């Protein structure tokens, strides 16, 4: 009755697979996040954005899930970015070292623009 609920949405925008993570990211989020990543990867996504919404809770189990995603992103030659994180969780991402592997943007629009610039360079 007191379990966390995470809702995951997949959208595509300007060649980027946007995965909305709405709610808390804890151990209960594992299956949903992994499934979403697998789904977009199976369809050939090269640029992926995790867009956090209504989030004020990411715990160390959630961090471990995201590190798992980053492991696969690195192996598959994809690019991952995150947006919508509060300043506190941006700080946590930097402390843990995730920021080196997943670029942090304030908003979805900023992330999409950055991906577009990458795309034109490549």
Partner 1 sequence: MSEADGATEQIIEMRLPSRLGYERIAMDTAASLARRMGFTPERIDALRTAIGEAVTNAIEHGNQADAAMKVVVVLTIRTDELIISVADQGRKVLDPAQTFLQPRITDAFQRADKGGWGIWLIRELMDEVEFSFAPGSGNQVRMVVHLERPPVIKP
The tokens describing 24, both together, are 């808390």
Please tell me whether residue 101 binds partner 1 under the rule CB under 8 A.
Answer: yes
> Which listed residue (92, 104, 112, 114) binds partner 1 by CB under 8 A?
92
Please tell me whether residue 97 binds partner 1 under the rule CB under 8 A.
Answer: yes
Pairwise CA distance, residues 51 & 85, whole Å: 8
The sign of the dihedral angle between the CA atoms of 34, 39, 44, 47 is negative
Which one of the spans 6-14, 19-27, 42-50, 113-121 is the region binding partner 1 (CB under 8 A)? 19-27
Q: Tell me whether residue 28 or residue 41 sits nearer to partner 1 (CB atom).
A: 28
Which one of the spans 6-14, 15-23, 40-48, 95-103 is the region binding partner 1 (CB under 8 A)? 95-103
Beta-carbon count within 10 A of 91 CB: 13
> Which listed residue (13, 41, 46, 68) binds partner 1 by CB under 8 A?
68
Please tell me whether residue 88 binds partner 1 under the rule CB under 8 A.
Answer: yes
Q: Tell me whether residue 18 or residue 93 sits nearer to partner 1 (CB atom).
A: 93
For 111, the 3-state DSSP assignment is helix
> Which listed residue (7, 9, 54, 60) binds partner 1 by CB under 8 A?
60
Residue among 39, 45, 35, 51 nearest 15 (CA): 45
Pairwise CA distance, residues 71 & 109, whole Å: 25
């Amino acid at each position: 009755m007191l379990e966390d609920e995470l809702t995951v949405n997949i959208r595509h925008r300007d060649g980027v697979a946007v995965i909305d993570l709405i709610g808390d990211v804890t151990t209960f989020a594992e299956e949903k996040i992994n499934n979403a990543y697998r789904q977009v990867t199976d369809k050939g996504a090269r640029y992926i954005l995790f867009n956090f919404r209504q989030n004020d809770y990411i715990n160390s189990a959630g961090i471990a899930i995201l590190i798992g995603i980053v492991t696969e992103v690195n192996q598959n030659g994809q690019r991952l970015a995150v947006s919508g994180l509060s300043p506190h969780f941006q700080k946590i991402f930097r402390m843990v070292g995730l920021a080196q592997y997943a670029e942090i943007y304030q908003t979805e629009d900023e992330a999409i623009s950055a991906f577009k610039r990458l795309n034109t360079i490549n």
